[in-house]
Structures are given as structure tokens and as C-alpha cells.
């Protein structure tokens, strides 16, 4: 380490500029992040059974299993932060006066942009012959009870996946690469790979979605609107259009 020089006016020793901390500090241990990356990749590829099934998986089993997974994802991310003494607030927003009312309105506005972009890309992929062959599919809700569980799942998913991808992984990849653009691409690709079981077309759409939301996370420094966007996208897709643009 370079020797420190006394301040000419005060006589106090001050560190040179290169002793400053990293511009993008890691928020969790590297091993913790590597385990999460491996788990997402395995999740995406292990559930691809081959030809698309004739019938979707049982709805209640699908919903309850997905809720349990999203809860586990949240706990794992929170644990990683605690290993470095961090808090969830570090991931959610750097703006002290962010409010849920304003963030909800912004999230719904972002959803309009998101839906327009995704729909255009979906039509382009369909025209190019890219299908979802090999997808394991999903189970759309039927009846009030399943609809209620779908809404609950969508809200939990919007919170936990934005926290994990546009919060934890985006910041961690930025710390590793020192470049926010690289970090946005990395988390978007992993987001798409983690959903590969839905089929190639969906994986591409979800990768684009992850990139768009990642850019907004960097610009806004606040992922609460993105949680609203994500949750409403799933609710709208499951209850209203039953999958489009996915």
C-alpha cells in the first residue's frame, strides 16, 4: 500500500485517492451468488421434458409449488444480504422518498410500454416460426379459488423475482463487472434461462423483458414500480388474455 502523506495545512494523514472503496461494492459473498446462478440454470433446463404436454400441470399443485419456490428465493436473497450486513432496502430503492402510491402508478405505466414491446417481439418470433416446442407449460386458473391463488402467486412472484434479478443479481453483476450495461445483460439472460421450461419463444421474450426491466432499474434506482409491473403482467396474462404475449 502506498505511503500516506500528511495534509500540508492540518498535518492530518489522509489516504491517497486509490485507497477509496470500490465504486460498485458486492452485496453478498461470491459463493452465495454462484449457488443462485446454478440453481436458476438447473431450474430452467431440468423442467424441459421433451414434447409439449397435451394437458397443463394440476393447477393447485403448480400454484402452491410456485409460491413455495418464490418464498424460498426471497429468503435466500435476504440471507445473502445479511451475510454482508446489508438490508432489503439496499436492493429495493435508493430514493428515500419513494412511495407505493406513486410507484404503483409508475409500474402500471411501465406495463403499457412493456406489453407493447413484448407483443411486437412475440408477433415477430411467431412470424419467424419460433415456437414453444418442448415447453412444460403452465396452468391457467379456472374458478374463484384458482384465480385468487393466481393473484397471490403473481404478487409474490413480482416481489421476489424483481428483488432477486433487478435487485440482488443486477447489483452483484455490476460489482463483478464494474459495468451496469454488462450487468443488465447478464441478469436478463439468466432470467430467460430460468424460464426455459416455458419454451424457446417464451425464454426469448422473458430475456427481453429482463433487459427492459433491468434498464429501468438502473435508471430509476427503485425497483418497486417494477414489482408492480411484473405482478400485473402475470395477473393480466393469467386472468385476462391467458398467456399473451407469453
How many whole angstroms separate alpha carbon 146 and alpha carbon 153? 10
Whether the per-residue pLDDT at 4 is higher than 50: the answer is no
Tens of pLDDT, residues 225-238: 999 999 999 999 88
Beta strands in the chain (DSSP E): 5-6, 13-14
Cβ neighbours, 10 Å, residue 96: 6
Of 10-14, 167-171, 184-188, 199-203, the range with the lowest mean pLDDT is 10-14
Which grid coordinates are listed for 139? 396452468
Tens of pLDDT, residues 115-135: 999 999 988 988 888 776 555
pLDDT score of 110 = 97
Which residues contact residue 18 at a Cβ distance below 8 angstroms, ignoring those fewer than 6 apart? Answer: 2
pLDDT score of 32 = 98
Band of the pLDDT at 242, cuts 50, 70, 90?
Answer: confident
Chain mean pLDDT for the chain: 85
Band of the pLDDT at 44, cuts 50, 70, 90?
Answer: confident
The phi and psi torsions of 138 (rounded to 5 degrees) equal -140, 170
Of 82-96, 131-145, 156-170, the range with the lowest mean pLDDT is 131-145
Domain locations along the chain = 56-87+100-239
Which residues contact residue 86 at a Cβ distance below 8 angstroms, ignoring those fewer than 6 apart? Answer: 27, 28
Amino acid at each position: 500500500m502506498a505511503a500516506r502523506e500528511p495534509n500540508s495545512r492540518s498535518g492530518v494523514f489522509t489516504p491517497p485517492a486509490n485507497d477509496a472503496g470500490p465504486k460498485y461494492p458486492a452485496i453478498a459473498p461470491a459463493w452465495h451468488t454462484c449457488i443462485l446462478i446454478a440453481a436458476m440454470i438447473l431450474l430452467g433446463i431440468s423442467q424441459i421434458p421433451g414434447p409439449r404436454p397435451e394437458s397443463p400441470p394440476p393447477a393447485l399443485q403448480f400454484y402452491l409449488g410456485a409460491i413455495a419456490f418464490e418464498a424460498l428465493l426471497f429468503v435466500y436473497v435476504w440471507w445473502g444480504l445479511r451475510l454482508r450486513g446489508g438490508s432489503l432496502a439496499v436492493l429495493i430503492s435508493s430514493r428515500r422518498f419513494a412511495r407505493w402510491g406513486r410507484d404503483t402508478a409508475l409500474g402500471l405505466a411501465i406495463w403499457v410500454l412493456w406489453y407493447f414491446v413484448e407483443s411486437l417481439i412475440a408477433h415477430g418470433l411467431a412470424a419467424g416460426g419460433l415456437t414453444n416446442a418442448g415447453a412444460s407449460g403452465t396452468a391457467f386458473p379456472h374458478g374463484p379459488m384458482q384465480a385468487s391463488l393466481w393473484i397471490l402467486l403473481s404478487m409474490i412472484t413480482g416481489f421476489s423475482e424483481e428483488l432477486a434479478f433487478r435487485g440482488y443479481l443486477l447489483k452483484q453483476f455490476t460489482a463483478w463487472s464494474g459495468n451496469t450495461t454488462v450487468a443488465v445483460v447478464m441478469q436478463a439472460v439468466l432470467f430467460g434461462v430460468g424460464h426455459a421450461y416455458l419454451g424457446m419463444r417464451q425464454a426469448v421474450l422473458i430475456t427481453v423483458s429482463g433487459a427492459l426491466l433491468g434498464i429501468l432499474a438502473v435508471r430509476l434506482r427503485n425497483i418497486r414500480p417494477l414489482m408492480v409491473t411484473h405482478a400485473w403482467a402475470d395477473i393480466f396474462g393469467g386472468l385476462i388474455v391467458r398467456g399473451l404475449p407469453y
